Amino acid sequence: MNKQGVDKKACFFNTLRVLDSQAAPFFAAKRHRGWVRRTPAKRLRGRPRRALCFLLLSLSILSCAATEELKLNLMPFPAEVEQKDGKFRLTEAFTAAVKGPLPDRVSRAAARMLHRLSGRTGIFFSQGTVPSGGDWDSAGLGLIYEKPGRLKVGEDESYILKVAANRIIILGKTGTGILRGLETFLQLLSTDEAGYFFPAVLIKDRPRFTWRGLLIDAGRHFLPVEVIKRNLDGMGAVKMNVMHWHLSEDQGFRVECKSFPKLHKLGSDGFYYTHEQVKEVIAYAADRGIRVMPEFDIPGHSTSWLVGYPELAAAPGPYKIERGWGVKDPTFDPTRKATYKFFKKFFAEMSALFPDEYMHIGGDENNGKQWNANPKIQAFMKKNNIPGSHALQAYFNKKILKILQKYGKKMVGWDEIFQPGLPKDIVIQSWRGQKALREAARKGYFTMLSNGYYIDLCQPTDFHYLNDPIPADSPLTAHEKKYILGGEATMWGELISVETVDSRVWPRTAAIAERLWSPGSIKDVDDMYRRLEKISLQLEELGLQHIVNREMMLRRLTGGLDTGPLKVLVDVSEPLKIYNRHRQGVVYTQYSPLTRVVDAAVPDPKTVREFRRRVELFLRDKSDKKKEKCLRKQLVTWRDNHRELKKIIDSSPVLKEIEGLSGALSRAAAVGLEALDFIVSAEKKSGPAWIKVQKEILKKAALPRGHAELMIIPAIGKLVKAANR
């Protein structure tokens, strides 16, 4: 008996039975012969199920004893995690080996894993590539899977990850599952005084939803291929599996079209993706287990199409590329045969270029003004008993659907395409919310949620994190819930550039990825933020620039002067949320600078969250001198920062617009300090007159300046309230 009172012999045979049951599903279809085909003529020998069980058993002398749990920095958090005793020590002798079908992306993913692991630890590994069928017996990491895995909705992405003291195994039914397991494996890397190690764990993991996407809008502001690739790397790291590529908009048509070359030549300002670049992105995404679904937005949001082909519009041209934002009038004419002849040829080319089974047609925000003003269109509607613009768009959608079906595609669109009579294999993407989502699911239509995941609106991470496609109180039946495929974060492009897009996508999208992968019961916000901080740093190793570009922008804004005082201000400021940035008296266009303080500020800054927490803890125990000292130190820094920042503002005109924001921070901090004095003093009394004055100061400090706002004002308001004696 060991010191926990567990019989080691009994533990040995219990473990054998557990491992046997875990291995069984991988061999259910092929019980009597080897299941991994190395070549057409050669199979693995022996009885694979028994061999695998003993292989797993040989990882270590398994301990059934309880162990002190390590806080794991995993995101998305797995479905099942069991921590064990022991550590796998990482040394330069570490290697990986693969057993699975050839050829496949798993070997390439394993090689990328080694490169990332080496870069993170500084360890010189002797192995650089991981060919299938390598030196299995001596490998520290073994990857076993049965089939490559397809880029299809509903594909098996599950995996089992076993870390023991002398070996690590990742099992997957498909190669896609191995890719997901490799990301968890990398996140497990830990340190102690002896170096790097992987804690002993048994993880059984699978996604909650099959559709976990990120929309990237390259129509409004073009994003080069390298930007797309680094965001695909980030998506792969957090187990997302769909990149929704928004490729046409009023402001630009972004794909080379050989059938209708005026689309990209006249509608893009020269910024578009060639066929070869599209294929490159699709292959890059596929290597990371990510589908690429294109969106060509019709019949509205179509100005860029009509620049080269005005004869297809519902109103006479000429047309030019739109430079401003919002809903525009230009729309395709749905009553002309030439419109559908055009789309037959267009979608023939794009269906061949994009292999995914789904094609997104947009279908949103058609205001119908051109249709209502066109006598021929109105006569057509009257003749065909079409009562209004909504019904006319349904007519258009059905025509487009037949074209897509001809080329083997399934149609996806925003809420507006949801009309009776459409086949049940289309997908409705809901931007309107839970009610629209549930309505589609109840009628048997596949749907996914984007409402609440609009990351361009600069809302806090916890807002997105607690937004669930199927909340615990959902009124849907178990059958109806099956029609909700998952969701997509949407990065709309009005206010992003090449240097700011990463800071708007990451790290918040990692929290959305967890919501779509992990069980719904995992929703501890504090722990989410703890893990997110670690994952955010790891995303940098993939080339994402959400952290590094911020410092670069601050250096540019200060003209090379000390960025410290400006950073103090930016760390407590956020861009205006929702669409309020467009309502500040400045008209944003495609040419507007996105290099100001508001663009360097990020949603949900850590400094603000920490200050709010400190205020809450202090107000629970106002006698705690340590907490008081910490708050006072922070408030003094903010109060005095304006004096230093003013010197920089005076030499950098671009900062003039935030001088008032800096002054407001100083005044608000002074209010907080005075409130602290009243709270901790037994003699001083604030009084109603003082309270009224301070509230007015804070109200003015909360006003936006330079399209940004201070986020610590509500917490200081709590101090004022507590001082009201």
Tokens for 670? 């002074």
Tokens for 20? 């046997």
356 burial type by CB count under 10 A (0-12 exposed, 13-18 middle, 19+ buried): buried
Distance separating alpha carbons of residues 285 and 278, to the nearest angstrom: 11
Query: Which residue in the list 280, 349, 357, 365 is annotated as catalytic?
Result: 365
Asked if 488 is an active-site residue, the reply is no
HSE (CB half, 13 Å, CA atoms) of 6?
13
Distance separating alpha carbons of residues 540 and 349, to the nearest angstrom: 37
Residue environment code for 3-22, b if the CB has 16+ CB neighbours within 10 A, otherwise e: eeeeeeeebeeebeeebbeb
201 closest CA partner among 114, 90, 290, 84? 84
**Which residue reads 């101090």 in tokens?**
719
Which amino acid would we find at residue 195? G
Q: In degrees, to the nearest 5, what angle opens at C-alpha 89 toward C-alphas 88 and 94?
A: 100
**Phi, psi (deg, nearest 5) at residue 454:** -80, 90
DSSP secondary structure, 365-404, as one string: ----HHHHH-HHHHHHHHHTT--SHHHHHHHHHHHHHHHH
Distance separating alpha carbons of residues 365 and 361, to the nearest angstrom: 12
Distance separating alpha carbons of residues 212 and 472, to the nearest angstrom: 19
Count, residues in the chain: 725
DSSP secondary structure, 259-303, as one string: SSTHHHHHSSTT--B-HHHHHHHHHHHHTTT-EEEEEEEESSS-H
- SS3 string, 511-579, reads HHHHHHHCCCCCCCHHHHHHHHHHHHHHHHCCCCCCCHHHHHHHHHHCCCCCCHHHHHHHCCEEECCCC
Distance separating alpha carbons of residues 37 and 23, to the nearest angstrom: 18
Sign (positive or negative) of CA dihedral 284, 535, 199, 524: negative
Catalytic residues: 365
